[in-house]
Amino acid sequence: MPQVRTRFAPSPTGYLHIGGARTALFNYLYARHCGGKFVLRIEDTDRQRSTPEAIDAILRSMEWLQLEWDEGPFYQTERMDLYQERLHALLSAGDAYPCVCTPETLDAKRQAAMAEKRKPMYDGTCRPVEREAVPLPEGIPFTIRFRSPESGATVVDDKVKGRVEFDNRELDDLILARSDGSPTYNFCVVCDDIDMGITHIVRGDDHLSNTPRQMQLYRALGSEPPVFAHVPLILGEDKKRLSKRHGATSVMAYRDMGYFPEALNNYLVRLGWSHGDQEIFDAQELMEKFDIDAVGKSSAVFNPEKLLWLNAHYLKSRPLPQLAEEVTPYLSAKGYAEPRDRAWLEKMVDTLRERAKSLVELVDMAHYFLAESVDIDDKAGRKHLVPEAKNLLQEVSRKLGNLADFNEAGIEQVFGDVIAERGIKLGKVAQPVRVALTGSTVSPGIYEVIDVLGRDVTLTRLATGVRYIDAHLPTQD
């Protein structure tokens, strides 16, 4: 059994989207699982639509997802000699022939066929009666077409879909090279996959209908087709193929929204593949356990909630130093200055990680730790910063000011003393303090908040809280 070689072959006409990422993931994992090679090839033969920006975006997305390719990236535009050579081989064998039909007449025939509810197929106007090499026309533009068999059937023995049979009469003579001489997709893929020794083609099932033609090309080119595995498409909420209309679909958008590459990979791999009841997989496990055999046949709807849940899982289980490191770019993205020091950053992140589901959300929740001062939410202020609380705030402030060791244990002691002395519930004092310190009724544990804020900021905000109470005394009517 020769070494397994898979490939991911995106066309650089836009960013790397979720569906493409999953295809890349499957190819990557399958190669790793088999101890084979994963090659990256950029299909940029459409010069009109391919851009260097898109190439860059795809490469960066792959790197971010840690889908490391072993060979490439190869660019089809740099491999024109190969296609020319193969084209001539086909031509001289009579497996391809020039076609002088103009796009206009082709289009007109297509319209007519559609109007009559006939299948819009090439009618074979330029196809030689016999399989023979014909001289190329001179002085007029022409395309090169593949001479496909007109009878029989082509069978795709697909690893996920099973046996699929196509009647050859359904397949018309596809264009191999455009009138400007440039080769087209179906031809380039086959030449490249043969040349690169690809053994397994794992791709979206939107390519299933191209497969019989590609198999015929393999044979005309003297090669046996590789193993095909057509994985189901990812659908949007409306059950339509996932597209921009469904919101964020680019891999980089997920990075920017504060998702971890591990979470995205873990989510994506479970869309169409499963391993019993297991939901969480680390990178190593994926390489061990992933197999095409366990890929399902039906398409899957993209579910942002589950992705978010997975992201929260990775957020909670990340080693703290790593998490703090990863938060940093999101901090500066929001315009916050460098945190005072590492230890403090880690402490802060640690208080928030259980409550946030993404890095962006974590940074948003951290505003009262990072901003100079805090805006007191109106509703929270009216409910908790009331006259009865003034005294409590002052008492807490005084005790905190006198605290010898300003740490969580000491802070807890302060609150313990206050409620014991006054015989009140902790909530009675914790909520006003929380509102004064964070501006809202929701935050991590109050001792943690105070500890992270530090003595100076805490006392300042407590004082501000007291002033808020004075400024919002109930009116006397």
CA distance 326 to 379: 34
Residue 103: CB partners within 8 Å, gap ≥ 6?
Answer: none
Report residue 332 as tokens: 């500066």
Pairing mode, strands 71-75 and 37-42: parallel
Question: What does R_g of the chain's alpha carbons equal in angstroms?
Answer: 32
- Describe the crossing of helices 426-438 and 408-422 by its angle, rounded to 10 degrees: 130
Nearer to RNA, 88 or 316 (CB): 316
To the nearest whole angstrom, how small is the minimum distance from the Cβ of residue 337 to RNA? Answer: 26
To the nearest whole angstrom, how small is the minimum distance from the Cβ of residue 475 to RNA? Answer: 28
Catalytic sites, residue numbers: 244
To the nearest whole angstrom, how small is the minimum distance from the Cβ of residue 88 to RNA? Answer: 18
CA distance 213 to 219: 10
Nearer to RNA, 238 or 288 (CB): 238
CA atoms within 13 A on the CB side of 288: 5
Nearer to RNA, 13 or 36 (CB): 13
DSSP category for residue 226: -
CA dist 161 → 29, 218, 228, 332 (Å): 19, 20, 9, 48
How far the first Cα of the chain sits from its last, in Å, is 91
Residue type, 387: P
Quick check: 393 and 465 in contact, CB under 8 A? yes
Nearer to RNA, 209 or 394 (CB): 209
CA distance 455 to 446: 13
Nearer to RNA, 92 or 274 (CB): 274
To the nearest whole angstrom, how small is the minimum distance from the Cβ of residue 79 to RNA? Answer: 12
Residue 228, strand partner residues: 201
To the nearest whole angstrom, how small is the minimum distance from the Cβ of residue 292 to RNA? Answer: 12
Pairing mode, strands 162-167 and 153-158: antiparallel
Nearer to RNA, 36 or 309 (CB): 309
CA distance 196 to 203: 17
To the nearest whole angstrom, how small is the minimum distance from the Cβ of residue 221 to RNA? Answer: 18
